[in-house]
Every structure is written in structure tokens, then in C-alpha cells.
A and B are shown apart, each in its own frame.
Chain A
Amino acid sequence: MRTTTLKSVLPVLLPAKAKSGSLFSFRLKLWHGIILLCICLLTSTAGFAQSDPIKASVFEILLRWMPLLLTAFIFNIAISMLAMGIGTAAGTVLGLGQISPNAGLRKFCWFITQFFRNSPWLVLLFFAMFLLPFEFSIGGIDIPLPDWLKATIGLSLPVMANMSEIVRGAVNSLPSGQWEAAESLAYSRRQTLWLVILPQCVKRMLPPWMNLYSILTMATVLASVVGVSEVMTTTGRALASEGGRPDLLAPFYSFVLLIFFIYCYPIARWTVYLEKKFAVKG
């Protein structure tokens, strides 16, 4: 007779453990910042070592240009906010059009959405820059359309298309019971949408919307390609004004990276927080 040896008298089922660590548990701490700063310092001093000691140090130069670069960065933020506003408004309309009961309208909105969502942002930007006039007149009044506004419109096109998909996705993600319940209470379609569906969608749309904003903010530097005086253009001008010193390239572009990171990272953290908060408890 075979005997089975059990390690434990009472075998128990242990709770399942996730094999990989949760991605959400990682976040930037103070010491990460110190490491980042050290990397910046190292690249800057490497640049400094190459150059002549008589020339102003890289830090002095960067410090001198900092106010101008930061002003230009504020311009980037303004462009991003305006483009986000236009894109969100237009995208919401387009997204609702995509779920319209009218088949023609639905197909039209679907086509517009897919067209702008699958076009490169830079191409759309050029499209807006060269197709929009520099000024137009309504009732005899000339309204100038400056380059930055054209760039904003160009950037709001892909935002609009992505927003449209976010709205459509959010509405579709709601259980159909919500629609049925509203219908049984004799709500019209418009009432159902405004009073029942959309209020529930806002929560779901917020994290992807903020993600989209983050991406848009980082894409505003594309406007430098079409000559808008934003932070990349200004950096280029500052570098040219310092006589095209190659050792300044790394510190200046690192600085631009850093300010974008400082602006976008909190948005990313907040998005994660909201995602967690709104997540359906399993």
C-alpha cells in the first residue's frame, strides 16, 4: 500500500498572486528628479568642457534665454488649450453624429472621423496653413487670420476626430439597459441622450480626453515647422543668435524637454488617478 505524505495536514488554497508588479504602483519620487537633474548637469558640463573658457558658460546663456523660452512655452500652452477647445466642441458634435439614427449623417460623420483620425498631424497642419487665407472679410470687415491661429485650427482637426471616437466609444460602452429604461419612462431620444447617457459618459471620457490633451500639447511643437514663433522656433533662434555653437544644442533642447515634461507629467498622473477612481470595481 502506497502512502502519500502530505506536507501539511490541512491543505489550503492560497490567494492568487499577480506575477508582475502593478504598473500603477510606479511613480516619480524626489530622487528620480535628482537623477534627471544630474543627467542634465552632466550633458551641460560636457558641452562646457569642449568650449573655450572665455565664452560665457552654458548655464549663464541658458539662464539669459530662459524668460524668452518660457514665454514662448506659454504660447504653446495657449495653442494647445484653444485647439483642445475647438477640437472638443467639434468632436462632440461629430461623435454624436456617429451614433445618429439617420444613416446618412452617421456615415458622413464616420467618414470625417476616420479621415482626420488616420492622417498625420503634420500633414493636417500644412493643409490648414496653406489652404486657409491670411485674412477674410465678413460684411466688409477684414478679419486677419494669423499663422498661430491657422496652426491651432490645423491641430484641432485631429483632436476633433479623436474626440469623436472618444464620445462614440463612451456612449457605446454604456449598458443598453440605460437606453431601454429611459425609453420605458417615455423619454425622447434627445432627453435620453442629454439627461441619462451623456452625464454618465463624462466620467468615462475624462481620462482619454486628458490623454488626448497631453498628446496635443506635445504636438504643438509641430507648429515650428510652419513658422509659428512657439518654443521650438524660439529655441532655434536663440541658438542662431548665440552664433550656432554646437555645445549649446544639448542643454537648450534638454531644457525644452524638461519644461514639457514638467507640464505633461502631472496631467498623466492625474489621468491615472481619475482612471482608478472611475474604474468599475471588480
Chain B
Amino acid sequence: MKTTIKCIIGTLCLGAAALSGQVANAEALDDIKAAGVIKVGVKADYKPYGFLDSSGASIGIEPELAQDVADKLGVEIEFVPVVSSNRMQFLEQGKIDLMIATMTDKPDRRKVVGIVDPNYYSSGTNILAPKKYGFKKWEDLNGKPVCGIQGAFYNKRTSENYGATIVAFKGTAEAYAALQAGSCVAFVYDDSAIVAKAKEAGFEEYEMPLPTIDDAPWGLAVPLGEEKFKDFMSEMTIDWHKSGRILELETKWGVANTPFAIAMHEKYK
């Protein structure tokens, strides 16, 4: 009995002592080439930027961009599904080599991960609301329940600046259902997704009534300090803008060409 207990305590101590490992990354680009595979963190619940097909494979605009990177490097690709709350952690921990996961470029995030310039995409915040409410400005939402997605940065803004009460859901399906059931007066989300949704059957009585706010660029990211890999990704991004690849992907996945993508294409053409 006693020896068993001692054994267990000993193992626990050994385990605790071993919990002190940090990965030292030398050159990510060389490591990727040597491994022959690039691990890319993409969203799995964000149609059309990153989602799943029924076989479980990652598809969408961002997985296709990631595939371009893998093709250029001549390596295999491995998609790792990430969510907003763990994507930067995964990159820091080395679980992924590259992150293309609808992340808004923010100064505080630049301290944690290596965000690549120029930005590859951009989106703003808007609401989907029934036409009957006739919202005209963001202040109209004051004191009203507004649906949102858990972990989205604009939830805080909508509640702090405009006084809305945010009801946050796990996924878009739940949020749309709550909106249709009248649990909230509007759904705050990305403008490009809302434009597409308002055109769908069942949403004829809904509109995107407010001016888009927070039009912020998205940043794809590499681990902090990987300058060579970052330069490589900068070139990749400029190529995408130059060749109109982003515009082409938007059309392919059913998103109206965004002003940002058009402007970047003009700039680098």
C-alpha cells in the first residue's frame, strides 16, 4: 500500500519537474522544407473564409490561400482547425507554422505574433436586423439585446460605445435562429457575411441598415521573430494582390468583391 502511494507521489513529482519545455525555433522556413509539410491554422466554422466539407476537409478562401503557400514551397499541407481564442497560442506553441484565420490586425496582437505586411484582407462590422425596426444609426441599439458570436472583438465595442446588450452565441446558426425567434433585435457580424445572408431565402425581411464601422484589415501571421518566413509571406501576399487572386477567390466562394481587395489589386497592379 505505502509503496504504491510513494510510487504515485514520486511519479507526480517527476511529471511536475518535466513540465518545463520550451521550443526553440531556429528557422521556420527551413524546418518546414525539411519536414516536407506545412501546418496551417485555419477557421473551421467561418463560411466562406474557412469551413469544412462533409468529408471533414478544410475548404474556403483561406485554405486555398494556404494551399498556394504550400505549392510555392513544394511541401504538403496540413490544416489545423483553430478558433479565435486559441489561434495565437497555437502559433506561439509551434502547433502551426502559419495562421490564416480571419484575424483582425491589432497593435497588441503584433506583440504576440508576427503579422505579415501588407494585409491580405479586410472587413468591417455591421448588423443584420429586421426591416420593421428601421434602425438608422448605431445609437439606436442602445439598451436593446443584440446577438453576437462568442469571442468576436466587436461585441465589446457594440456594448460599450452604443449601449447594446450582447447575447453571444457559439455559432452563426444559433445566432440566426435567435434573431429569427426575436431573442434579439439585431445580429452584429462581419459586413461581407451579412450582405450574403440578407440575399438568402428566409431573410427577405432583413437588412443591413447601418454604416459599416471598424473597417479593419486582417493579418495572416507567422511565429514572432521569423523574419525570413515573414518576408516570404509578404511577397506571397503582394503576389495575391497583384494577380487578383483574392478577387478571384471571393467570386469563387460567393462573396461580392470587397473595396479593400479591389483597392489593393489597383495598388499593386
Contacts and interface: CB of A to CB of B under 8 A. Distances in A.
Interface residues of A, number: 41
Contacts of B170: 236
Nearest to B16: A136
Given A68-B56, A227-B86, A246-B180, A237 B202 contact: no
Interface in A35-75: 50-52, 54-55, 64-65, 67-68, 71
B56 A71 contact: yes
Interface string B79-106: 0010101100000010100000000000
Interface residues of B, number: 40
Given A240-B171, A240-B173, A136 B200 contact: no
Contacts of B171: 236, 239-240, 244
10 contacts: A52-B201, A68-B54, A68-B55, A68-B56, A133-B19, A236-B170, A237-B51, A238-B52, A240-B47, A243-B200
A93 B180 CA distance: 53
Interface in A216-243: 227, 229, 234, 236-243
Given A227-B85, A237-B52, A249 B173 contact: yes
A100 B86 CA distance: 43
Interface in A58-102: 64-65, 67-68, 71, 93, 96-97, 100, 102
A136 B20 contact: yes
A241 B53 contact: yes
A17 to B, nearest CB: 50
Contacts of A246: 173, 176-177, 180
B107 interface: no
A251 to B, nearest CB: 11
B45 A237 contact: yes
B188 interface: no
B44 interface: yes
Contacts, number: 101
Interface stretch (B1-9, B62-70, B152-160, B242-250): B1-9
B23 interface: yes
A244 B202 contact: no
Given A135-B21, A244-B197, 12 more contacts: A68-B52, A71-B56, A136-B19, A137-B21, A227-B86, A239-B173, A243-B47, A244-B47, A244-B171, A244-B172, A245-B176, A248-B173
Interface of A: 50-52, 54-55, 64-65, 67-68, 71, 93, 96-97, 100, 102, 105, 132-138, 142, 190, 227, 229, 234, 236-246, 248-249
A65 B18 CA distance: 41
Nearest to B93: A134
A240 B55 contact: no
Nearest to A53: B201
A249 to B, nearest CB: 5
Contacts of A71: 56
Contacts of B83: 227
B177 A241 contact: no
A190 B4 CA distance: 12
Contacts of B27: none
